A and B are shown apart, each in its own frame.
Chain A
Amino acid sequence: DTAVSQTPKYLVTQMGNDKSIKCEQNLGHDTMYWYKQDSKKFLKIMFSYNNKELIINETVPNRFSPKSPDKAHLNLHINSLELGDSAVYFCASSQGPSPSKNIQYFGAGTRLSVL
């Protein structure tokens, strides 16, 4: 059983389209995250939810909207996709919101290519 699973694994789309990436964790964790990894492998937090409530919202364009229907799911919807959105997006989860107390578990990533 995959602990943190993301779908799709690959996403190729045209500029201007709207797309969603789904994430589910079966670890019973309270906290979930979205990270963006650019072509140089730099890993940056985008959003974090704890018990379905937003606790981190970094400087991310409004075109990105996370949604957490329940503690086990955190989806990412992106409107009006731009070339610069091309990256690998990682979902992660942890037992609680404090990274100094809770190990983060990452999904395998979704490689988004905007043409």
Chain B
Amino acid sequence: GENVEQHPSTLSVQEGDSAVIKCTYSDSASNYFPWYKQELGKGPQLIIDIRSNVGEKKDQRIAVTLNKTAKHFSLHITETQPEDSAVYFCAASKTGGFKTIFGAGTRLFVKA
């Protein structure tokens, strides 16, 4: 069945360093890949997304890359700040489908 694997499960970085979270999806028909940030006590919130016709997308300190051949996509956060500390989820869905399949989440700690 459809599956999204996410690594690492926990990531600790020093403020100012970069953080990278990687995901792999199983359904080759997947064509939309959002990333969500969940802060403590809150619901997930979309921070960036990428579609299968694009290889990379950037929004200030956040970038996503997609390798359709390998079915990999990654989230890159540069110049991390303490407020980036949260749980990050990758996800995948496809045209005509109703479900979003989420990865297991990465808990990011940014140490000041």
- Would you give the shortest CB distance from A37 to chain B, in whole angstroms? 9
Given A41-B104, A42-B104, A103-B34: A109 and B99 within 8 A (CB)?
no
- Would you give the shortest CB distance from B44 to chain A, in whole angstroms? 5
Dominant secondary structure at the A interface: loop
Q: Hey, what's the 0/1 contact readout for A44-59 against B, CB within 8 Å counting as 1?
A: 1100101000011000
- Would you give the shortest CB distance from B10 to chain A, in whole angstroms? 11
Interface presence of B31 (CB below 8 A):
yes
Interface presence of B93 (CB below 8 A):
yes
Bound: A98/B100 CA distance, A: 9
Interface presence of B45 (CB below 8 A):
yes
Contact of A45 among B46, B94, B99 (CB under 8 A): B99
Q: What is the chain B residue whose CB lies nearest that of A56?
A: B98
Chain A residue numbers with a CB within 8 Å of B99 are: 45, 48, 56, 99
Residues on A facing B (Cβ under 8 Å): 4, 40-45, 48, 50, 55-56, 90, 92, 97-101, 103-104, 106-109
The contact sample of 20 A-B pairs, CB cut-off 8 A, is A4-B43, A41-B87, A41-B105, A41-B107, A43-B89, A43-B102, A45-B99, A45-B100, A48-B98, A56-B99, A98-B96, A99-B34, A100-B51, A100-B97, A103-B34, A106-B45, A107-B43, A108-B42, A108-B43, A109-B41
